[in-house]
Amino acid sequence: MSEASLFAQQERNRHRSTLLVAVFVLFFAWIGFGADYIIHLSTAGAPPTAYHHQIPFAGLAACALALGMAWFSWRRGAQQVLWSTRAWELVNAATPEEQQLVNVVEEMAIASGLPKPKIWIVPDDDPNAFATGIDERHAHLAVTQGLLATLSRDELQGVVAHEMAHIKNYDVRLMTLLAALVGVLALISDATMRFLWFGGGRGRGGSKKGGSGPLLAILLVVWIITVLLAPVVSRLLAMAVSRKREYLADATGAQFTRNPAGLADALEKIETAVAPTKSIKWGTAHLCITDPLGRRINAKQGVVANLLATHPPMAVRIARLKQMAYQYQKTGVLPDEG
């Protein structure tokens, strides 16, 4: 990847991260102020002595909550991702495989021009890996125990280079934020629906004077649909972003190692693993080098796959890497995939 392409990709990911937080806050503002307005309409026709909702408590509280959650996701999102996988930090290597991993990470840090990330081991026998963090100085690289046991040194180097590419491209910031905020939206949606289920019957006695009845009904339906669909939409967004970034990370990682065949061989071994990566759940699936859930949709192409799959088809990724290896062998030059 050329330097100009790299800087452009980094800038795009910084912009997308900022936009993601802004959309997240605006969504909460709609949920809060929309609820305030719905309650205002429902109480507008009540007797003078009854409660009339005038101060937007819900909107102000929702905006404060959104800002707080966005800040928490920024500061603690990576730790939450690692905690959810039960990963433990590799500080002192205790086995030859762990020492090899440390050596490879140090080599790829030098090749990529990045600080060495913290290394984590996920207690899972399925081969997989991911990177997380907010920038190159606060990055974490995690691999499963199955990956260490399965790959050769060249293959491990390819996988580590791929994850270092995500760090260098600032993919980790965007995808870590997505992982944290997707989980938050799922919790908020669930809590809101529980409130509607148990408390929605209150306040139904409000009058429809002033013609607010149809408007109230429309707003309430739109509000409920928004709350219900938010986790689904955010999950689809995470999947779409993940698919696009994998090709770029494959190519950038090959630039670091000068050995595209190493990553191609690693992906072939990872693809043949039959069991899902049980330690990694759907909320962080888009962070991994391959879909940890083993869903068949990731092997397909087309509009549906583009919407629902977390990763591009493995066969296509492997074919691209092998083509890069062939070109490098023939010309001594790797193609610029930036």
pLDDT in tens, 126-185: 999 999 988 899 999 999 999 999 999 999 999 999 999 999 988 888 777 776 676 666
Provide the total of helices (H) and of strands (E) in the chain, helices listed first.
Answer: 10, 4
The segment(s) of the chain belonging to CATH 3.30.2010.10 are 84-173+239-331
Do 260 and 322 contact (CB within 8 A), yes or no?
A: yes
| β-pair partners for 122 | 144
Give yes or no for residue 328 having a pLDDT over 60: yes
pTM of the model: 0.74
Reported as a pLDDT band with limits 50, 70 and 90, residue 5 is low
Percentage of the chain lying above the pLDDT 70 cut = 74
Residues 6+ apart with CB under 8 A from 29: 59, 62, 63, 66
Catalytic choice (11, 98, 136, 163): 163
84-173+239-331, what's its fold? Zincin-like (3.30.2010)
Q: What is the DSSP string of 161-184?
A: HHHHHHHHTTHHHHHHHHHHHHHH
Active site residue 163: yes
- Whole-number Cα distances in Å, 265 to 85, 262, 329: 26, 5, 16
Residues 6+ apart with CB under 8 A from 43: 50, 51, 52, 53, 203, 206
Q: Is the model more confident about 31 or about 236?
A: 31
